[in-house]
């Protein structure tokens, strides 16, 4: 009698627990569906604004969609595109990076093109502000995405030469030498990089390396007046 009563109570307890677990699962599932539905709703509102050319107004909608669903690749994509259309290059980069990571293989090329545009825009913007390190960082990322981009390699060399000049003027001769050498990796016959490197060696007290560097410039361009002047100056020393 006691055993039967215990079994009945245990069965009722198990049924009750099963009902609670089922209810919780249903609640979680509905909550999840609600979040996804909310993300899609925010995205759709943002897309309507984007298509109407109202990019600023679209931004909070796309941002909210990514907050509700962190794996919503298209929301990141259009968030980045909105920033691009507003010429806010640096702000476009993070969402486009995420969109690239989340995008399926068949759409990665489209996202790469947008990301590269954002990186170039951010690099030029930072260069014009004199932030050469940040500019170089954006351009290095372009080269990671498109290793054979002649434009990226040329722009990076130009930026590194400017950075080398800034370091040289600050008395950071070793850093300037490293920077000019990096510039030459991307633009092997760049005379400005060689002349900057020669000046950095000279300022660092390494006259022999400076002389060899200037001799390289003269081999490439025997008529280069700046190289000829430095060559004569070093011979006097």
CB atoms within 10 A of CB 191: 15
Does the structure show a pLDDT above 50 at 37? yes
- The class level of CATH for 148-237 reads mainly alpha
- Tens digit of each residue's pLDDT (9 = 90 or more) over 188-207: 999 999 999 999 999 999 99
Does the structure show a pLDDT above 90 at 6? no
112 by DSSP, 3-state: which? helix
The CA distance from 148 to 139, in Å, is 13
At residue 227 the predicted structure's pLDDT band, cuts being 50, 70 and 90, is: confident
At residue 4 the predicted structure's pLDDT band, cuts being 50, 70 and 90, is: low
The predicted structure's pLDDT at residue 53: 98
The predicted structure's pLDDT at residue 231: 80
At residue 2 the predicted structure's pLDDT band, cuts being 50, 70 and 90, is: very low
The CA distance from 79 to 43, in Å, is 10
Residue with tokens 């796309």: 62
The predicted structure's pLDDT at residue 36: 58
At residue 33 the predicted structure's pLDDT band, cuts being 50, 70 and 90, is: very low
Domain boundaries defined on the chain: 37-134, 148-237
237 by DSSP, 3-state: which? coil
Q: Which CATH superfamily is domain 37-134 in?
A: Tetratricopeptide repeat domain (1.25.40.10)
171 by DSSP, 3-state: which? coil
State the chain's mean pLDDT as an integer: 88
The predicted structure's pLDDT at residue 30: 43
- How many Cα neighbours within 13 Å face the side chain of 217? 26
Residue with tokens 């759409």: 107
The predicted structure's pLDDT at residue 21: 47
Is pLDDT larger for residue 111 or for residue 18? 111
- In this prediction the pTM is 0.80
- Tens digit of each residue's pLDDT (9 = 90 or more) over 106-156: 889 999 999 999 999 999 999 999 999 999 999 999 999 999 999 999 999
- Tens digit of each residue's pLDDT (9 = 90 or more) over 63-81: 999 999 999 999 999 999 9
The mean pLDDT value for 95-101 works out to: 97
The predicted structure's pLDDT at residue 12: 57
């Amino acid at each position: 009698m006691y055993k039967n009563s215990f079994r009945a109570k245990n069965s009722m307890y198990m049924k009750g627990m099963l009902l609670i677990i089922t209810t919780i699962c249903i609640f979680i599932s509905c909550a999840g569906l609600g979040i996804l539905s909310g993300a899609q709703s925010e995205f759709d509102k943002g897309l309507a604004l984007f298509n109407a050319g109202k990019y600023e107004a679209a931004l909070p909608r796309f941002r909210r969609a990514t907050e509700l669903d962190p794996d919503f690749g298209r929301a990141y994509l259009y968030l980045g595109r909105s920033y691009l259309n507003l010429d806010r290059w640096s702000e476009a980069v993070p969402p486009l990076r995420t969109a690239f990571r989340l995008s399926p293989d068949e759409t990665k090329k489209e996202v790469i093109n947008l990301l590269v545009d954002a990186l170039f825009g951010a690099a030029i913007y930072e260069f014009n502000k004199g932030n050469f390190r940040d500019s170089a960082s954006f351009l290095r990322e372009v080269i990671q995405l498109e290793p054979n981009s002649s434009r990226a390699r040329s722009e990076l060399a130009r930026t590194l030469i400017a950075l080398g000049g800034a370091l040289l003027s600050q008395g950071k001769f070793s850093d300037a030498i490293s920077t000019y050498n990096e510039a030459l990796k991307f633009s092997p016959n760049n005379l400005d990089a060689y002349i900057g490197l020669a000046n950095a060696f000279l300022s660092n007290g390494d006259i022999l390396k400076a002389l060899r560097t200037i001799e390289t410039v003269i081999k490439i361009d025997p008529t280069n007046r700046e190289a000829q002047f430095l060559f004569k100056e070093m011979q006097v020393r």
